[in-house]
């Protein structure tokens, strides 16, 4: 396999943060020797998450075995995932906001047509459903555990208890028509064809769309980590990947 230099579009604080966590973990475990230093392992993991490089590509580039790459990534993702905020923590952090924006996204996976639980009829492809909460400026605050793509957004919110948590905190929530009937403090646009809505309803829907569009920035933030654009791992590991990315974003982007 040919190897060439590449660049990683991340600031050095991501590398320092992850390298420090890995070094502390190695010290706690009493690790004496590794094929790569904590800094090099951190760089390998970031290349996997940010660029979506495969195990084989990383093994060739870092001159280690494929199994070693797998262990390094699994170890680092686990350390990051446990630091991700849960829903209660995210709601508490958002309690000072005027409102939050809720939306769902589908993370594509490589599954065949027989895997119906993972097939999204809305998006016409296989994937995992992830719910995202953003602040009024579109900043990513929280991402939910991943559910099979066949799960609709409103069912996902009920599964995670999002409506109850936001209602208890008194937070208004802006969402699209897919959350119609969610209850609580959710605000959705008027349903119906544009030409059949009154002038007032059209104005409300237009304002609602401008506000909700900011939530797309949170989606873009999540999917700027290219691994999440097309996942080829086991579906049981996708939640850990999402939580690892969330930790890196919240910790290193402020």
For the stretch 73-101, pLDDT in tens is 999 999 999 999 999 999 998 988 888 99
> What is the percent of the chain with per-residue pLDDT over 90, rounded to a whole number?
56
Strands (E), the chain: 99-108, 119-120, 125-134, 140-143, 147-148, 172-174, 186-187
Cα separation of 178 and 160, whole Å? 16
For the stretch 239-251, pLDDT in tens is 999 999 999 999 9
How do 172-174 and 125-134 pair as beta strands? unpaired
| Other CB atoms within 10 A of residue 24 CB | 12
Q: Which neighbouring-strand residues pair with 20?
A: none
Average pLDDT over residues 109-117: 70
Burial class (CB in 10 A: 0-12, 13-18, 19+), 80: buried
Cα separation of 230 and 92, whole Å? 32
Q: Quick one: which of 104, 185, 186 has its CA closest to 148?
A: 104
Question: Backbone phi, then psi, for 143, in 5-degree steps?
Answer: -130, 135
CB neighbour burial string for 135-145, b if at least 16 within 10 angstroms, e if fewer? beebbbbbbbb
Structure tokens at 10: 């991340």
Categorize the per-residue pLDDT at 161 as very low, low, confident or very high, splitting at 50, 70 and 90.
Answer: very high
Q: Answer whether residue 140 shows pLDDT above 90.
A: yes
């Amino acid at each position: 396999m040919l190897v060439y230099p590449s660049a990683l579009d991340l600031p050095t604080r991501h590398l320092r943060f992850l390298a420090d966590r890995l070094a502390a973990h190695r010290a706690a475990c009493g690790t004496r020797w590794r094929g790569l230093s904590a800094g090099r392992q951190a760089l390998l993991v970031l290349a996997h998450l940010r660029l979506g490089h495969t195990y084989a590509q990383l093994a060739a580039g870092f001159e280690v075995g494929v199994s070693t790459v797998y262990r390094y990534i699994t170890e680092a993702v686990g350390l990051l995932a446990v630091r991700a905020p849960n829903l209660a923590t995210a709601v508490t952090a958002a309690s000072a906001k005027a409102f939050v924006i809720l939306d769902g996204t589908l993370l594509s996976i490589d599954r065949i047509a027989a895997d119906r639980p993972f097939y999204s009829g809305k998006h016409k492809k296989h994937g995992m459903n992830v719910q995202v909460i953003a602040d009024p400026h579109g900043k990513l605050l929280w991402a939910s555990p991943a559910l099979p793509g066949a799960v609709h957004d409103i069912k996902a919110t009920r599964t995670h208890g999002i409506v109850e948590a936001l209602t208890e905190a008194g937070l208004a929530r802006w969402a699209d028509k897919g959350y119609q009937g969610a209850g609580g403090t959710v605000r959705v646009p008027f349903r119906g064809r544009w030409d059949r809505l009154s002038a007032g309803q059209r104005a409300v829907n237009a304002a609602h769309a401008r506000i909700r569009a900011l939530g797309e920035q949170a989606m873009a933030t999540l999917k700027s980590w290219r691994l999440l654009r097309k996942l080829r791992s086991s579906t049981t590991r996708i939640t850990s990947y999402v939580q690892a990315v969330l930790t890196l974003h919240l910790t290193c982007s402020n």
